[in-house]
Structure 1
Amino acid sequence: MARARDESSPLFAGNAAGTLRLIFYLALAMVLMVLDHRSGWLWRLRYGAAVVVEPVYRLAGLPAVGVRTLSVAFADRERLTEQNQRLREDLLLANAKLNRMAAVAEQNQRLKELLDTQHSLELNVQLARVIGVDMGAYRYQVTLNMGARDGVKPGQPVIDAHGVMGQVKEVLPTTSVVMLVTDPAHAIPVEIERSGLRTVAYGSRDGNQLTLPNIPLAADVRVGDHLLTSGLGGRFPPGFPVGEIRSVAPASTGMFMVAQAQPAADIDRSEDVLLLHDQAEPDGPPTPVKSMGPPSDLAPVMGDAQAAPAHPSSAPSIKPSTPPATPGVQP
């Protein structure tokens, strides 16, 4: 709705007085602009006004700044949490790979020791892996992943990188059972490396050590002496480490000395073993192996038991009264 002439602004009035006022204001504006351009005094005025007005602007912008800061903080926290989770997963994976590499390196070291043993002794051997352990009551044996199809035969000696582990007791098509030297039913002729004394080392009931029960009282046996296979009977080749004497004491009968020895082989740790081939046939008939009964009923299993009797006064030859329980098994 248009204003009436009497309600219109006096600046834009249609009379001469209004026109003069308009010209005056325009001239004043031009003068002020020229003065400001030449002397800059209006800049000082604006600067002072900005000092007063700027806090008002900052106060008005605080809500927006706070919201933006919170959003950035939450975003950074979430990103840092995800990054931390990824780093933890990478660390766990790296540790797992490192442990696996350490295990593989240890396995490679064991295999290298086995190969070094084969090359140094120039033996015809076959590498096998332990796939089962049977540590039952008075029975200590392991299962290998090689059997009759791989040419394994009963009575074959089994060694690891450190010494004699035992001999093959039973052969199946794809697997074989090895009786350990610490089995109470096992016996092996040995020779003391330092003095050359020959005797027989038996397994023990606890399956952790060897027992030498028939050492003469006058024999020179000391703690720390090393036991080697004597080679008597032809089952185990001579010169293989069997164990180390840990203790020597008189027997309860007072007629002999009894020694305890620690096996040289890693009985409870070896994962790879060597099967010896092309060994000489043992002298004399095989000793039956009884699978049942307490250790006192078990005949010592050894291929050359005839050449090294368990007692000095025992007969020099052993003749079984019954056929072998396991044909062809030579301890």
Structure 2
Amino acid sequence: MAYPGTAAPRLTEGAGGTLPLLAYLALATVLMVADQRGGFASQARQHLSALAEPVWWLASSPGRLAEGAHELVTTRSRLLADNERLTRELQVNASRLHRLAAVAEENQRLRELLGGTRGYRLEAKLAGIIDVDLDPSRQRILLDAGSDDGVRVGQAMIDAGGVLGQVIEVTPRRATALLLTDPEHAVPVQVARSGLRTIAFGTGRTDMLRLPNIPQSADIRVGDRLVTSGIGGRFPAGFPVGTVEQLHPDDTRLFVVAQARPAARLDRGLEVLLVNNTLDAVDDGPPLPPPPAAEAPGEPPAENTAGADPATAPAGQGPTP
């Protein structure tokens, strides 16, 4: 409403504040449509992020430097601790090695005194498993090697864990082996800790061996490791057989019965080793003299009489003047 004496507003004065707003709205609309159609805003953000990356790298430098210093200190302290631990272990292992060397020398002297165990070496042959029979009353395996490959009846059979059994039947291309846990199998064993000798019998179970008739005063405990004693000569000495898991008195209360878990992996594995002791070649005396040289036919044997002693000449003959 216009009052008397006032000037009427002009069009340019009212539109001066509205036109920029409309221009901004139009520009914003164009930019949104262009971004929707061509993705210009995302490309611009990528370029701006690449330009801002050095700024972020400089801003994070103090944190990265602190983290690197902490890691360096931690790594150095850990290396020092590991070095100290390995030095102690090296000293302990060196002392054990010296002790083992002394024990080995003593063992060699005892073997020389006892006799009968010198000159033996271990012969091993790899064979594959074709078939496995784990019936409680018959536990045997079939091997893909036979007499043509050097397999013999009585060879001991082992795997990575320990004794598996022994070969009982051989054909030219196949061999049958009796497993350690077969009810008809027995192996002489020795307690590695105390040296007690006994016999381990199969039970028909792949997870248990039975050691009967152990004296009450025998030095055997739960957890003792059993190895082959070498008695009988069929199983080489020192191979793992099992670990004692249970001890209980027998029905007469006069002896102890032990139950052991086999060391061999009876229910898995595809290959076994057939081992046996063989004698090394030894010299039994001085070498034989060479055979005499052959003489030419019709030529009398050469006699060296030029230097013969007159005292050894036949009676009634003197030295030739």
Calculate the TM-score normalised by the size of structure 2. Answer: 0.48
Calculate the TM-score normalised by the size of structure 1. Answer: 0.47
